[in-house]
Structure 1
């Protein structure tokens, strides 16, 4: 997370002051949060993640608050509405679309207010958007078919998302006075590549998208985020079989994965090879190693760290890279967690980041 390695304001000094970068800065959440209390969520995120707080996402609020709906609210000159089957392209912006826009604006307001209450400018802030493939798979054309089945509509959505990012990133940077990290979520990309998405009838599947085509569109999104002013761009896919090589080929600064879902150090050789190539090529790894839902018992810090430590050992990489070339995150979003565990999981990511920088003798 290079943006925290230059200047790093903090909440540990007078308002507006600054400090040296801290190991705990290399930790963050992936976006979603439980419940509907937006302001409490923002205060918790800012309090627990002073190094890289993120715009809160509370999908429990309903229409327009989920990943696809909130990203649709960023679109320029395109609108969506809700049908029984989900989001669908609308002829003009109606109540559903306006709700998505309003909810996202409230999310930004809440983060801004929480930062103001904390009295410090963070080293960076993060926002999350659905990637072009996940968005195009989650929105229907007026015919009922997914946007991704129409190349013209797909290109239009991607361009519109790029324009929306320009406004969103610019506003975040202006209001928080901090560099903005953009996280592009692509949980549906593996299904797009596999051709396993259902058609409107439910009896067929949408044809598989070739890897080169998928890479080109996602690469365009990464480029658009940078052109929008993003200090760093992270591509996130918490699917058990993310297309790691493809994600890395799109040129992001980091790739975020659920390390447990991949199998950790026991992952298949091709997965380990892909992770190693990303790391060696200069792409940071955001490692999801903290449970995103309530565990049956409070896990020990060493147990949570073990998959990352073993991964470094298995790849033949110096463990020190976990402190300077990795960022610790929950396994995925925290929407399915209890409020108590969401807070604890978030603080635990910071504890792990600090421990990777100064490992206990027992590790």
Structure 2
């Protein structure tokens, strides 16, 4: 039985050298033994390197620039802005390094992109407030993101010809708040209206479907207590990445159901900072969870992926390295039975 290991995406640092060090850690720990190496993100390099900026840099059909309050659509529908070009250039630079280091690699790889609902809850309209307030704008954003995702996956497949598969991870940390009507308005005195599940699912279907059409396996990452597992899987996610410590009773049941149905569940069990548990303690934690939900490790083990609880951008460099070492070690121990 092979239990796989990977990371959520982000690493600490604030320079290109830090990106290269993060990539060395990722490849050193995850490019063998069933690991899924990924293109690391180092958001400390600035807004164009963070999740929102990197994703907007990939989107060629909408124009956005940086304001003191964050990213905002310009409404000009012309060429990408200077800020977008900087973000796109940084992604291309990172991919150049990734391509060079993966020249002789054969196996799966993973890349991460912010999801349509997290972007809608983060990016502002030209005249203020979030895109979430405008039905047409959020629809346009999701459709533009779908095009960008297809292009991104195709680029990764071209750059890493030895890839036996590409996982497209859609980061949706804001999705539960969007569904619950809990995203604050610009004034801070109100909340944006609830987005109902059918609309939320449709936007996700466009983006996840574009990933599939481009030849990728679509996963969604959402480290929240109320991950809408059924909605994500219904929209086409074939893998869901969760923080095991945050899941409630319904989340545990939904994760078990997904594994039984043949989908992937990435269990975030390795802490992102502070004192690190032993390999043995983490292995036992996963085994106890499988026992609690009534699943046989020998049956579902190959659909389990071990990850850190969330991204590692806020961790010390030594902790980020140790967390990556641990996910590999825990996965290997679980696979050995």
Please indicate the TM-score interval, normalised by the length of the shorter structure.
Answer: over 0.9
* Mapped contact 1:323–1:353 kept (Cα < 8 A): no
Q: Does 1:135 align with 2:124?
A: no
Q: Does 1:357 align with 2:335?
A: yes
Deviation at 1:146, TM superposition (A): 1.2
Summarize deviations over 1:179-211 as a string: whole Å, max 9, x none.
Answer: 311001100001101111111111111001112
Question: How far apart, CA to CA, are the structure 1 residues paired with 2:292 and 2:205?
Answer: 30
Question: How far apart, CA to CA, are the structure 1 residues paired with 2:328 and 2:10?
Answer: 17
Corresponding residue SS for 1:77: coil
- Summarize the alignment of residues 109-124 of structure 1 with structure 2, pairs less than 5 Å apart: 109-116=96-103, 120-124=104-108
Pick closer, same or farther for the CA change 1:68–1:321 going to 2, 3 Å.
farther
- Residue 255 of structure 2 is matched in structure 1 by 275
Question: How far apart, CA to CA, are the structure 2 residues paired with 1:291 and 1:311?
Answer: 17
- Residue 11 of structure 1 is matched in structure 2 by none
- 1:239 corresponds to which of 215, 218, 224: 224
- Residue 287 of structure 1 is matched in structure 2 by 267
* Mapped contact 2:268–2:310 kept (Cα < 8 A): yes
- 1:103 corresponds to which of 72, 90, 106: 90
Q: Does 1:226 align with 2:206?
A: no
* Mapped contact 1:28–1:54 kept (Cα < 8 A): yes
| Runs of 5+ consecutive residues of structure 2 not aligned to the other structure | none
Corresponding residue SS for 1:332: coil
- 1:215 corresponds to which of 187, 201, 207: 201
**Which range moves more in the overlay, 170-179 or 314-323?**
314-323
Q: How many residues align?
A: 326
- Summarize the alignment of residues 1-363 of structure 1 with structure 2, pairs less than 5 Å apart: 23=2, 26-35=4-13, 36=15, 37-50=18-31, 51-90=35-74, 91=76, 92=78, 93-116=80-103, 120-177=104-161, 178=163, 179-230=165-216, 232-262=217-247, 267-268=248-249, 270-293=250-273, 295-296=274-275, 298-321=276-299, 323-359=301-337
Deviation at 1:321, TM superposition (A): 4.2
Summarize deviations over 1:302-322 as a string: whole Å, max 9, x none.
Answer: 211233211210111102245
Deviation at 1:107, TM superposition (A): 1.6
Corresponding residue SS for 2:72: strand
Deviation at 1:162, TM superposition (A): 1.3
Corresponding residue SS for 1:124: strand
Pick closer, same or farther for the CA change 1:196–1:284 going to 2, 3 Å.
same
CA RMSD of aligned residues (A): 1.6
Dislocated runs of 4+, deviation >4 Å? none
Deviation at 1:148, TM superposition (A): 2.1
Summarize deviations over 1:129-167 as a string: whole Å, max 9, x none.
Answer: 011101111111111121122222112111111111222
Q: Could you state the TM-score of these two structures normalised by the residue count of structure 1?
A: 0.86
Question: How far apart, CA to CA, are the structure 1 residues paired with 2:299 and 2:59?
Answer: 38
Deviation at 1:327, TM superposition (A): 0.6
* Mapped contact 2:244–2:267 kept (Cα < 8 A): yes
* Mapped contact 1:287–1:329 kept (Cα < 8 A): yes
Question: How far apart, CA to CA, are the structure 2 residues paired with 1:115 and 1:325?
Answer: 25
Deviation at 1:251, TM superposition (A): 2.1
Q: Could you state the TM-score of these two structures normalised by the residue count of structure 2?
A: 0.92
